[in-house]
């Protein structure tokens, strides 16, 4: 099981002159390659993604082992609500007054390129906004604006926003406190001894491997065994029981699920309830979301907050606009500008995750990716092609949901985003 896309965030274009495709040339290239389908779905035949079966949901064909991401024909259906029929989940209720997202007239070049991009790759939804105005919106594979689209690891960045709110409200005192300072059940455990800043930066020092260890994390925490999917799962038991240590915390970046799961335990402990309820009261309703969101949980109702958050595409864009507006919506400061600034800058204790240190062409901070060296672009990143990018200078947001991360779409994503930020 793979939680992070094979196409991790890469270097962004330096300026708009490096966006080489024009609407005509790009569309012609796609047509020559045979990428655009009559269904308007993707460069890969829509039938592969379940069109002929009306985009089924569930664990897979009756005569096959039950899997939640192993059957491509089930991706579109499961990634847009199907998981809610397969797993226990908590609902995050929207309020009665959604914040406005107005439709504006985008440039012809942006619309043409966005349309070509959306048809070139197996994308379920693509939305571009600036300052709360929708400049482009498109859906494939029978998906609609009312559907909740899952995020995979973009949920880690949602967890970051919730942690920032907890810090703002002084439910958490200091980033140099340990997780065990707030969660009594973590006392004496490896993750209970780690400072919050190192958990937020994926620098825990635990011996955990993102590719090697799903059977030790995903299965007991959310999936359950093949014979009884989702039964007997326990997120917190997995975190408490992890004893393998590689090095001291704060030395190097090591992307994994245990860090955000530990932060999720901290937020539940200090708020006295579920992450969903905390998000509903202090993020989702103040944000002005137009639809309910959901968060997948273990068998005990505890959010698997490294993944499993689902929302309408327009509400994902609202989250991006919140970041672009330094944590503010209308006259309301939802998360402090200080936390947003902390998510896009690196200090002395963050050197291991700075741009070029986390990865050669990427930085990381507080569960956000950084494909730009100056912190101008903040990115939420999830498996199978889920991505949300924010340009803080132009307050441009681009969010896509997808069924696959196959192919070099990441390069085209950032080229299109660069164009959107300059248009």
Q: Does domain 16-35+89-422 have CATH number 3.40.50.980?
A: no
270 phi and psi, to 5 degrees?
-75, -25
Greatest mean pLDDT range, 30-44, 53-67, 100-114, 267-281: 267-281
Span 135-167, pLDDT tens digits: 999 999 999 999 999 999 999 999 999 999 999
Residue 82 is classified by DSSP as I
98 C-beta neighbours (distance < 10 Å), count: 16
Residues in the chain: 423
Which two three-digit tokens encode residue 142?
Answer: 């029978």
282 phi and psi, to 5 degrees?
-115, -5
HSE value, Cβ hemisphere, 13 Å, CA-based, for 101: 26
- Where do the structural domains in the chain lie, given as residue ranges? 16-35+89-422
Confidence class for position 106, pLDDT limits 50, 70, 90: low
Do 151 and 315 form a contact (C-beta atoms < 8 A)? no
CA 89 to CA 81: how far, in whole Å?
Answer: 11
Do 392 and 323 form a contact (C-beta atoms < 8 A)? yes
Residue 129's beta-bridge partner residues? 134, 397
- Return all residues near 96 (Cβ < 8 A) that are at least 6 apart: none
Rounded to two decimals, what is the model's pTM?
A: 0.92
Span 58-103, pLDDT tens digits: 999 999 999 888 899 999 999 999 999 999 999 999 999 999 988 8
Do 79 and 307 form a contact (C-beta atoms < 8 A)? no
């Amino acid at each position: 099981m793979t939680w992070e896309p094979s196409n991790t965030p890469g270097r962004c274009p330096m300026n708009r002159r490096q966006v080489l495709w024009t609407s005509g040339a790009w569309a012609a290239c796609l047509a020559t390659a045979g990428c655009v389908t009559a269904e308007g779905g993707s460069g890969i035949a829509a039938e592969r993604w379940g069109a002929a079966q009306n985009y089924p949901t569930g664990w897979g064909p009756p005569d096959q082992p039950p899997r939640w991401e192993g059957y491509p024909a089930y991706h579109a259906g499961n990634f847009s609500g199907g998981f809610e029929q397969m797993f226990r989940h908590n609902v995050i209720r929207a309020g009665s007054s959604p914040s406005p997202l107005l439709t504006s007239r985008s440039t012809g070049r942006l619309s043409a390129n966005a349309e070509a991009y959306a048809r070139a790759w197996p994308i379920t939804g693509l939305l571009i906004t600036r300052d709360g105005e929708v400049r482009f919106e498109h859906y494939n594979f029978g998906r609609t604006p009312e559907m909740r689209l899952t995020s995979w690891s973009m949920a880690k960045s949602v967890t970051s926003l919730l942690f920032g709110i907890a810090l703002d409200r002084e439910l958490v005192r200091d980033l140099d406190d340990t997780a065990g300072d707030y969660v009594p059940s973590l006392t004496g455990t490896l993750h209970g001894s780690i400072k919050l800043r190192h958990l937020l930066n994926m620098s825990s020092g635990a011996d955990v491997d993102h590719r090697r260890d799903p059977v030790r994390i995903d299965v007991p925490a959310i999936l359950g065994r093949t014979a009884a999917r989702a039964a007997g799962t326990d997120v917190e038991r997995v975190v408490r029981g992890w004893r393998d240590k590689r090095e001291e915390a704060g030395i190097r970046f090591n992307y994994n699920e245990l860090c955000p799961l530990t932060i999720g335990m901290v937020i539940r402990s200090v708020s006295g309830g579920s992450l969903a309820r905390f998000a509903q009261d202090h993020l989702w309703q103040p944000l002005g979301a137009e639809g309910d969101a959901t968060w997948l949980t273990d068998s005990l109702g505890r959010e698997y907050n490294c993944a499993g958050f689902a929302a309408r595409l327009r509400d994902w864009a609202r989250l991006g606009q919140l970041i672009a507006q330094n944590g503010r919506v209308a006259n309301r400061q939802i998360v402090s500008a200080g936390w947003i600034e902390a998510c896009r800058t690196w200090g002395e204790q963050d050197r291991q995750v700075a741009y070029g240190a986390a990865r050669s062409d990427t930085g990381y901070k507080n569960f956000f990716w950084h494909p730009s060296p100056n912190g101008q672009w903040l990115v939420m990143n999830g498996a199978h092609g889920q991505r949300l990018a924010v340009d803080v200078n132009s307050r441009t947001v681009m969010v896509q949901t997808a069924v696959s991360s196959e192919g070099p779409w990441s390069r085209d994503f950032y080229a299109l985003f660069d164009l959107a930020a300059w248009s």
